[in-house]
Amino acid sequence: MAEKVLMKGNEALAEAAIRAGCKHFFGYPITPQTEVAAYMSKRMPKIGGTYLQAESEVAAINMVYGASAAGVRVMTSSSSPGVSLKSEGISYMIGADLPALIINVQRGGPGLGGIQPSQADYWMATKATGHGDGHVIVFAPSTVQEMADLVALAFDLGDKYRTPVMVLADGLLGQMMEPVDLPEPIKSEDLPAKPWAIDGHKGKRDHNTINSLFLVAQELEDSIVSRWKRYEQIKAEEQMSESYMTDDADIVLVAYGAASRIARSAVNKAREEGLKVGLFRPITLWPFPSDALEATVDKAKSYLVTEFSMGQMVDDVRLIVNGRKPVSFFAHTGGVVQTPDEVLEALRRVATGETFNMVPYQSKLSGEAR
């Protein structure tokens, strides 16, 4: 195994993409994902790849559309406001069954928001990446190592299912450094063949078209249904999650990405106090790891969800728990990050049997949580 290197999450992600055979990057500068673009602009010319700073996020995602249509592994990266701009192109890519890696290093919103870490794009990523009936696979790394590991998987699954894949990180993961074992570079001859690509038919096959337009309603329905059959397969085969000390847990804390690290610290502190608390961490946000969460419902007495948002993933947790056990929520948002002690305090209250939806505006208004 190669020596571990100390890298920022954004840089590890970029290097891992190159090692996964991605030689085309199209992007537009925005904090806090800038290191991805900077890294690519340095590396791509040295490996015969393309780094292109587009005129806009809109143009960048459409360049990704074109390169993906031509059959190469390609990516773009941005942060929340920029991903809003990309949503048009992502929808077209879903409709045209084009794989690509889209990075969202989330920051606070809505609007220009802020530049500090946030998880307020969960809904956008998992429910409405763009207009129309469709999804993208969404990965949520929680360490720099995962930033690297999930990138390679994202390219593989994108090619396998012909779908865009998003890595939903945040400013904290993007900016922090940790030791990382970079994956071995994939050989170009080992990349999957793409007989559907528009790379010039050379007179050897019928002409290929990349298209999301179906003016006959029945044809559009058929194309959507066939795509959703693939979604069913993705839901059955690609759910990923991590469970930490959940086996004997009375309270299951649910958190993803950087928030899950704070949650993990809180779990350790709670265990020192004798509270039986475990952490359930979704790694795929779409498909949501509902099977593994379902497996905890019988044993758990209650749930606490913590995010860097006003409560988005908590919707999915509540859908799965479906009223069988109480689900509480505690969070900060807008770039404010909860401390492990705050989460610990919320856990203590859940342990006393309280159920609450504790978000900052309520605690400020009432002086204490509801």
Partner 1 sequence: MSDTTTTAAVAEKPKKEKSPILFGRTGSLTKAITNYCPGCSHGIAQRLVAEVIDEFEVEGETVGVCPVGCSVSAYNFYSCDMAQAAHGRAPAVATGIKRAKSDNIVFTYQGDGDLASIGMAETVHAATRGENITVIFINNAIYGMTGGQMAPTSLPGQVTQTSPYGRDTDAAGFPIRVCELLSTLDGVALAQRVTVDSPKNVRAAKRAIKKAFQYQIDGRGFTIIEILATCPTNWGLTPADSFTWLQENMIPYYPLGVYKDTGAAEKE
Partner 2 sequence: MKDLNIMFAGFGGQGILFAGKIVAYAGMLDGHEISWLPSYGPEMRGGTANCSVCISDEPIGSPLVIDPDVLVAMNLPAYEKFIDHVVPGGIAIVDSTMVGTCTLREDISYHTIPATALAKDNDLKGLANVIMVGRLLAATKFSTREVFEKAIDKSVPEKKKHLAEANKRALQMGESWTAEEC
Nearest distance from C-beta of residue 148 to partner 1, angstroms: 24
Residue closer to partner 1 by CB (options 69, 172) is 69
Nearest distance from C-beta of residue 96 to partner 1, angstroms: 7
Residue closer to partner 1 by CB (options 187, 207) is 207
The candidate with the shortest Cα–Cα distance to 266, out of 282, 249, 283, is 249
Residue closer to partner 1 by CB (options 196, 228) is 196
What CA–CA distance (Å, rounded) separates 95 from 230? Answer: 13
Nearest distance from C-beta of residue 147 to partner 2, angstroms: 13
Q: Using the rule CB under 8 A, is 355 a contact of partner 2?
A: no
137: enclosing H helix or E strand: strand 137-139
Q: Using the rule CB under 8 A, is 370 a contact of partner 2?
A: no
Task: Centre a 10 Å sphere on the Cβ of residue 65 and count the other Cβ atoms it contains.
Answer: 23
Name residues contacting partner 2, limited to 77-116 (CB under 8 A).
115-116
Residue closer to partner 2 by CB (options 68, 119) is 119
Q: Which residues contact 30 (CB under 8 A, 6 or more apart)?
A: 57, 78, 79, 81, 82
Per the CB < 8 A criterion, the answer to whether 254 and 317 are in contact is yes
Per the CB < 8 A criterion, the answer to whether 237 and 137 are in contact is no
Q: Using the rule CB under 8 A, is 56 a contact of partner 2?
A: no
Judged by CB under 8 A, which stretch of 70-78, 182-190, 255-263, 325-333 contacts partner 2? 255-263
Residue closer to partner 1 by CB (options 39, 92) is 92
Instruction: Pick the binder of partner 2 from 29, 45, 132, 179 (CB under 8 A).
Output: 179
Per the CB < 8 A criterion, the answer to whether 188 and 71 are in contact is no
Q: Using the rule CB under 8 A, is 4 a contact of partner 2?
A: yes
What CA–CA distance (Å, rounded) separates 86 from 57? Answer: 6
- Burial class (CB within 10 angstroms; exposed 0-12, middle 13-18, buried 19+) of 214: middle
What CA–CA distance (Å, rounded) separates 335 from 171? Answer: 9
Residues that bind partner 1 (CB under 8 A): 24, 26, 50, 52, 54-56, 58-60, 62-72, 74, 88-89, 92, 96, 198-204, 207-213
Q: Provide the β-strand partners of residue 165.
A: 101, 137
Residue closer to partner 1 by CB (options 54, 336) is 54
Q: Using the rule CB under 8 A, is 32 a contact of partner 2?
A: yes
Task: Centre a 10 Å sphere on the Cβ of residue 47 and count the other Cβ atoms it contains.
Answer: 9
Nearest distance from C-beta of residue 218 to partner 1, angstroms: 17
What residues make contact with partner 2 under the rule CB under 8 A?
4, 6, 31-32, 115-116, 171-172, 175-179, 261-266, 268, 337, 339-341
